[in-house]
Amino acid sequence: MPGICEGRVVVVTGAARGLGRAHALEFARHGASVVVNDVGVQLDGTGGDEQPAAEVAAEIRSLGGKAVVDGADVADWDQARQLVARAVDSFGRLDVLVNNAGVVRDRMFVNLSEQEWDDVLRVHLKGHAATIRHAAAHWRDLAKAGEAVDARIINTCSGAGLQGSIGQSNYAAAKAGIAALTVNTAAELGRYGVTVNAIAPSARTRMTEDVFTEAMSQPTDGSFDAMAPENVSPLVAWLGSAESADVTGRVFEVEGGAVRVATGWRHGAEHDAGRRWSPTELGPVVRDLLDRDPRPEPVYGTT
């Protein structure tokens, strides 16, 4: 039986471990050819090992699929361009871009260094922007040449970017930026046959195991492992399929067997004086607006 992504070509960034590995394997099981992108560094940014990505590619081939390994730094503008070219050169086309690569530098904001801020914003936000920019240019050129484009971008946001997270101001800011980037590029790229969506997953990965150790421990009794990264990948594969062509500009929360649509900023209650307000009269107005509007979700880590 053909898979839901049969014949499609997919780039997955950060694909050597965790969620990226699960995504790459899920796409392969459903008939896609996969570019397994990973720079192979440790969470602290040191090292550089190609072996984990090579093992994922070998596993895909053992399933009868097609895969190539790519070591591009997605936050490097030119290397991101080369990553898109690698997919086209290897498989003749590019249909899906899954942005998953990331790092963490968790620290209370008052103790955060400039380098820790820059590292996280660079890999997450710029790493998404650079790959989207070059994939979008590729698909735009095809569309302008008269070719039919049915392309997908799936970004990786986080609950930290949607609600905030204590000790993760850099990460939360980057992920909030990714959510905004998703909405904006979806509006711009639809004309070229490209959809853009994001997921905000909860799963056991290298980046989360020290933050939610107890909640994310693997069950030993054979019960459903709600924190397994493989639980997230079916939605990612569906969003990468032809079937999802009418879904764009949305953010989905995924945890265990639960899928939710995350609703972003909306216009709330309003008072319009029809003139310039005086600061002295705005106190009751603001409090009335807050009383009439839903309370925001609590920041993760607050009591």
Catalytic, 126? Answer: no
Q: What gap in Å lies between CA 267 and CA 114, rounded to an integer?
A: 34
What does the buried/exposed string (b/e) look like for 50-85 if buried means 16 or more CB atoms within 10 Å of the residue's CB?
eebbbebbebbeeeebbbbbbbbbbbbeebbbebbe
Tell me which residue has tokens 């003749």.
Answer: 92
Of 171, 202, 233, 241, the active-site residue reads 171
Backbone angles phi, psi at 258, to 5 degrees: -100, 135
Contact 197, 186 (CB under 8 A): yes
DSSP element (H, E) containing 8: none
Tell me which residue has tokens 């992920």.
Answer: 175
Contact 157, 182 (CB under 8 A): yes
Of 165, 175, 233, 241, the active-site residue reads 175
Query: If you write DSSP's letter for every residue of 191-226 in order, what string do you get?
Result: GGTEEEEEEEEE---TTTTTTSTTTTPPPSSS---T
Catalytic, 175? Answer: yes
Tell me which residue has tokens 């799963």.
Answer: 203
Q: Catalytic positions, please?
A: 158, 171, 175
